[in-house]
Structure 1
Amino acid sequence: MSVVGVGIDMVSVPEFSEQLSTPGSTFIGHFSVGERRDVADRTGDGARNLAARWAAREAVIKAWSSSRFGLPPLLPETAVNEVEIQTDAHGRPRVRLHGDLANAIGHLQIHVSLTHDGDMAAAVAVLEERPAD
């Protein structure tokens, strides 16, 4: 298996929280029902957990973009909304893709790691070719 791309992103939790709580903001709607439910079921700061998921979405897009060096971009800027971060019963994350993004990179295996430290949330994504069957 070979690595196709690597991406990383960091999000300021206070700024992200402010964006979520701004009156009239529809930003929470960028998260799937499953993501919102998962965050609501967890203890702690919901904004912090959503910020890590947003960082993971951006990291996936950056990993794909890094694999396209020198080539024209294939994805619209809204592709970040086609990335969903799911967690299992133990809180381990995985990426689920939708729409055009699923068609573009759904054939790749995506590894993702989320973290929080102080006022920052971060994520790393690694795209890897799937092993041949």
Structure 2
Amino acid sequence: MSLRGNQVASSPQPSLARSLASLPRDWGRQGVCGVGMDTVKISDFAAQLQMPGSTFSQVFTAQEQQVASLRPAPAASLAARWAAKEALVKAWSQALGPLPLPLPDSPAIWSQIEVVSDSVHRPRLVLSGEVLAAFSRTCPGAMCQVSLCHEDDFASAIVIVSGSGANPG
């Protein structure tokens, strides 16, 4: 898109046109099933990570911890990832309507929700174990989009679960 005087001229790049042509035919026509958002105060989160005997770091995969350790602000990186995990649970719960989340209330589930980044640092969620099985069963074919943000002393994430709808069975 370029600006010419007061007019906006739009000319998609060839690579963008190819990318759009490769999307599934029903992309964008599937409804939003659930939206979740979470915000974490980074300084409080960092203090929790440092508490003696804290098992909070166990909610992150080895890859999440490694990526965070390479960032200028590791606690902010982990806080944003924690917010994403919480936001996924909220979005998934919303997609299920009045039904309860089909997971045990266990610390072990949190490391089965992983935030990874692609080559240009766009985050995405990767589910595994019990979480993947339960999500696939209750929201077959659904997709999760995630966006992370950290500014000043706060980290936030939003997750959108989209697809043809939840399958509570």
| Structure 1 and Structure 2 fold alike (TM over 0.5) | yes
Q: CA separation in 1, counterparts of 2:95 and 2:34?
A: 5
Pairing partner for 1:59 from 70, 78, 87? 87
The worse-fitting range, judged by mean Cα deviation, of 65-74 and 117-126 is: 65-74
Task: Quote the residue 1:125 is aligned against.
Answer: 159
Task: Quote the residue 1:115 is aligned against.
Answer: 149
Pairing partner for 1:71 from 89, 99, 103? 99
Q: CA separation in 1, counterparts of 2:59 and 2:98?
A: 30
- Where 2:162 maps in the other structure, the secondary structure is strand
Q: How many residues align?
A: 129
Conservation of the 8 A alpha-carbon contact between 2:58 and 2:111: no
> Which ranges of structure 2 fall in alignment gaps of 5 or more residues?
1-29, 165-169
Q: Output one character per residue of 1:32-61: Cα deviation in whole Å (capped at 9) or x when no partner.
A: 01101111222x210011000000000001
Conservation of the 8 A alpha-carbon contact between 1:111 and 1:127: yes
Task: Quote the residue 2:116 is aligned against.
Answer: 86
Structure with bigger gyration radius? 2
Identity %: 39
Counterpart of 1:35 in structure 2: which amino acid?
E
Normalising by structure 2, what TM-score? 0.71
Q: CA separation in 2, counterparts of 1:80 and 1:33?
A: 13
Q: Output one character per residue of 1:16-75: Cα deviation in whole Å (capped at 9) or x when no partner.
A: 000001122221122101101111222x21001100000000000100001122223312
> Which ranges of structure 1 fall in alignment gaps of 5 or more residues?
none
Structure 1 runs of 4+ off > 6 angstroms? none
Counterpart of 1:27 in structure 2: which amino acid?
F
The worse-fitting range, judged by mean Cα deviation, of 56-65 and 23-32 is: 23-32
Cα distance, 1:76 vs structure 2:
2.1
Normalising by structure 1, what TM-score? 0.89
Q: CA separation in 2, counterparts of 1:111 and 1:9?
A: 14
Task: Quote the residue 2:47 is aligned against.
Answer: 18
CA RMSD in angstroms, aligned pairs only? 1.5
Q: Output one character per residue of 1:57-111: Cα deviation in whole Å (capped at 9) or x when no partner.
A: 0000100001122223312233333210001232210100012210122442110
Conservation of the 8 A alpha-carbon contact between 2:61 and 2:111: no
